[in-house]
Copies of this chain bind each other. A is one copy, B any other.
Amino acid sequence: MALTTLQCKSGAVRISQLSEETGVPVATVKYYLREGLLPPGERTAANQASYGTAHVERLRLIRALVEVGGVPLAGVKAVLASLEQPPGTLHDLLGTVQDAITPRPQRAGGPDWDDARADVARLVEDLGWQIRRDAPALDQLTDVLLAYRAVTGADLDPGACFGAAARTAAELAAAEVPNVTGEGPAETARNLVVGTVLGGRAFDVLRRLAHEDVSSRLLGSAPGGDGMTHNK
C-alpha cells in the first residue's frame, strides 16, 4: 500500500517490497520466478535484483487467477504465455484462454461417459451454438451431466438439466463479450482473462446470494406456515 506508482516505474523495487505491495509472500514470488511465471528482475548486485510495475501487475494477475479463480498453476502459466504472444484474433485468444483454465475431466472414457458426451454435443447443436467439437468445456459439461445422473439415479436429459441455464448464459455472454475490448491488445487480453475467471467466480457467488434472496421471500416462513416448508 505504501509504494507509489512512481517508485514502481523507476524499477527500484526490491523483492521484499514487491511482496508487500502485492500481498504475495517472498517465498512464493521466488517460486514464480523459478517457474518462469514472472520474468527475472533487473540484476543490481551479485544477489540482488530490482522489479518494476510490470512485475507488480503480473503478480496481481497471478494472485487473482490462483486465489480467487482457483486456476491451477499450469493453467496460469498457459494463460500468461497466451498473453505474451496472443493469437491472431480475439476469438482465437478466447479459445486459448478457455482451454488453459479448463482442467481435464477426471472421468473421461467408458460407455456412460461417451453417451453423456454425445448428449452434450446434441444439446449444443440444438442450441445452435458454434463451438469447437473438441472444446474442453464440452468435456467438463459431460462431467457435470454424469454427476447429475449418478446422484439422481436417473438418465437425465441435458436439455432438461441445462436448457434454462444455457439460455440465461447466452444472454449474459451476449452482454459480456462485446465489452471485452480494451484500449489496446494487452488490455483486451487481460480483460478476457479477468472476465472469464473472475467474472465466472462472481456470477457463481451472485447466483447463491440471489438464491438466498428468492428463498427468503418464497420459503422463509415458519415451518408449517405454507406448503413450501419441507419437513413438517
Contacts and interface: CB of A to CB of B under 8 A. Distances in A.
Interface of A: 1, 22-23, 57, 60-61, 63-64, 67-68, 70, 86, 88-91, 93-95, 98, 102, 106-107, 112, 124, 127, 129-132, 135, 137-138, 140-141, 143-144, 147-148, 150-153, 161-162, 164-166, 168-178, 181, 185, 188-190, 194, 196, 198-223, 228-231
A137 B212 contact: yes
A23 B151 CA distance: 13
A118 to B, nearest CB: 16
A194 B148 contact: yes
A218 B57 contact: no
A141 B211 contact: no
B218 A177 contact: yes
Contacts of A231: 86, 88, 185
Given A86-B230, A141-B206, A168-B172, 5 more contacts: A93-B230, A131-B212, A169-B203, A177-B211, A188-B230
Contact of A173 (B23, B151, B202, B207): B207
Candidate in A127, A148, A196, A231 with the most chain B CB atoms within 10 angstroms: A231
A152 B140 CA distance: 29
A37 to B, nearest CB: 15
A144 B202 contact: yes
A147 to B, nearest CB: 4
